[in-house]
Structure 1
């Protein structure tokens, strides 16, 4: 998906590089965002509900533009993350329950990413045909007289960058995080089953400590690659879903309610994927320290025990993800996003009801 819009570091398709040039994409992103902002200004005095719809278009275009720019700039970071995955331990080298558990996680996540990609393709197809079915553009923007079909062509051209900037980036984040979660589980398994009486123990312990440091550094790089998206995701999800729930709950055509309900589900699902994967890695990294504590450390020498204590202390500081250190991303954050969205929506509905009563 990322390769189709030029956001993958290993994009080699010449047709993609020709049609989806970075500066051309930026121009159309900013152009559509400008028209959406213009529609808000034009509609706010005559049709407040249309202005609210246009405001949701502004927020959506801002989200996709920001994601596109951040991920285009971070292509070298993504290349590093993909390259260093060659250092991961292979699941085939493990036996028993740990291999079964990790294989199940990998299989489930692969199916989820595949279904999520298919879901995005279906939405993109609906996005393409919407003007033919409903005789209006995909999002509420200002349409100068005689510009409808020209703007439809612009949307047709921008559909791959729009959807890849949202669904492709989210899928890539999931595909990066799941293997790291599995690597922490494998590391915990090896630490817990260390043979303290083996002649190779010192060498094995050093290798495990080095690998633990490598995984922590890898997670730091993941956060550096995605912290801009994570921060923006937090605020935009609250804003977009608040407006869309308000639209779906008021006197709008049923078709619009169905369309915006789909956007609401998509946006919440998108945020949940980020939060859930960050939570998985945090829990798996913390379990490394628990595995060291549950090992047969009491059978080792005092010098070795001090090394294990360092592993436990290092693992007690959970790997966490945040948006530039301002917003910590985990499942608690997703709960806060959901609560904040409902609170703001309730406030908007209250203000609207009071305004209608005053007008009457």
Structure 2
């Protein structure tokens, strides 16, 4: 796939996504999809099911289920995001190939700079998730004595609330179980962070193309009539190319973003209720979830604003020096640019800063609901 090339966009994030079984070495085959389904089923049976039983026991004994509720909502939302991502993998691969191809319109200015920096950031995101997960697991180990006093039904020391029908007395078995559950959580967490990072990366590369188009439009009428006509046709084709890439981009992530928003809204409310109870383990996840949501909304805002600026670039060209035919063609570009390119979150809303504020308000309402008693 194009992502294997060093000069292609998302090459580093796609490389790390292979550890979460979300990106194949080459073109996705049946074996790749079968492997992904098997990993999901294994995670469901060995991680989610014990967590769900632990949650039901908490409800039966009248204990605080906020932490379990947070993990259940997060796991469900993140699993949906991963599944939708794999379903749209071929479209995603096509989009990456299109944005990495410069034969027709040339390479945008600053492309190499952004590729280098995004590859570094992708590595940083991946290792950040690894380090935070291991640190969180260590804090669980520190709390083992206190956990065993209050929750005899829980396997204490595991990174997520975990239940088994038998008591774990062997340290060897405990270490193996802890590493296994940690690996399952890392698959989900790394996948989520890298998918959100890919959204921002693709958005910035579409913006680079838009900036490139704006430069071409500004210089579109600097030569003779015949050259200007060819340049204007090229600009119109470039604009259609950007619109098509944006439409594929929206199709790849619209329902993933809807799942993310629902999961984040409820998860942040659960985490806030834990922070108020001085459970400091909830601070890093809260900060991380808010950053992820803000990143996704920022990507949508950047794409929307950049697409609306195409009309301004058209207007500031020297269109007034040429005949009506040229002006009419340019007017069509300006009219089309009034319809912003957006990244939608399902059929209900688009990703932007106002949506981020609305979700934060909703999560606060969830927090109040969980703490009304």
Match of 2:193 in 1: 167
| Separation in 2, partners of 1:27, 1:146 | 25
Of 37, 41, 47, the residue aligned with 2:56 is: 41
Does the aligned pair in 2 maintain the 1:64–1:162 contact within 8 Å? yes
Match of 2:295 in 1: 273
Residue by residue over 1:69-110, the C-alpha shift from the partner in whole angstroms, topping out at 9 and shown as x without a partner, is: 11222221221112112334899967xxxx47x777667655
Of 191, 202, 217, the residue aligned with 2:229 is: 202
Deviation (angstroms), 1:33: 2.1
Of 13, 22, 27, the residue aligned with 2:41 is: 27
Q: 1:320 to 1:33 in 2, by over 3 A?
A: same
| Separation in 1, partners of 2:181, 2:102 | 41
Between stretches 53-62 and 112-121, larger displacement belongs to 112-121
Q: What are the within-5 Å matches in structure 2 for residues 220-231 of structure 1?
A: 220-231=247-258
Deviation (angstroms), 1:112: 4.4
Does the aligned pair in 2 maintain the 1:188–1:291 contact within 8 Å? yes
Match of 2:8 in 1: none
Matched, 1:117 2:126: yes
Matched, 1:235 2:262: yes
| Separation in 2, partners of 1:28, 1:315 | 47
Match of 2:355 in 1: 333
Count matched residues. Answer: 336
Q: 1:222 to 1:266 in 2, by over 3 A?
A: same
Q: 1:249 to 1:325 in 2, by over 3 A?
A: same
| Separation in 2, partners of 1:272, 1:217 | 25
Match of 1:177 in 2: 203
Deviation (angstroms), 1:2: 0.5
Match of 1:345 in 2: 367
Q: 1:179 to 1:305 in 2, by over 3 A?
A: same
Deviation (angstroms), 1:64: 2.3
Match of 2:274 in 1: 247
Deviation (angstroms), 1:316: 0.4
Between stretches 59-68 and 112-121, larger displacement belongs to 112-121
Q: 1:91 to 1:275 in 2, by over 3 A?
A: farther
Does the aligned pair in 2 maintain the 1:3–1:11 contact within 8 Å? no
Does the aligned pair in 2 maintain the 1:29–1:61 contact within 8 Å? no
Q: 1:68 to 1:217 in 2, by over 3 A?
A: same
Q: Which SS does the other structure have where 2:309 is aligned?
A: helix
Q: What are the within-5 Å matches in structure 2 for residues 281-300 of structure 1?
A: 281-300=303-322
Q: 1:327 to 1:144 in 2, by over 3 A?
A: farther
Deviation (angstroms), 1:333: 0.8
Does the aligned pair in 1 maintain the 2:304–2:341 contact within 8 Å? yes
Matched, 1:58 2:72: yes
Matched, 1:262 2:284: yes
Matched, 1:140 2:173: no
Q: CA RMSD in A?
A: 2.8
| Separation in 2, partners of 1:44, 1:265 | 27
Match of 2:337 in 1: 315
| Separation in 2, partners of 1:90, 1:179 | 16
Between stretches 331-340 and 115-124, larger displacement belongs to 115-124
Deviation (angstroms), 1:200: 0.9
Instruction: Tell me which stretches of 4 or more aligned residues in structure 1 moved more than 3 Å.
Output: 9-12, 88-94, 102-115, 127-135
| Separation in 2, partners of 1:92, 1:186 | 9
The structure carrying a bigger helix percent of its residues is 1
Between stretches 206-215 and 325-334, larger displacement belongs to 325-334
Q: 1:278 to 1:106 in 2, by over 3 A?
A: farther
Q: 1:9 to 1:220 in 2, by over 3 A?
A: farther
| Separation in 1, partners of 2:195, 2:339 | 28
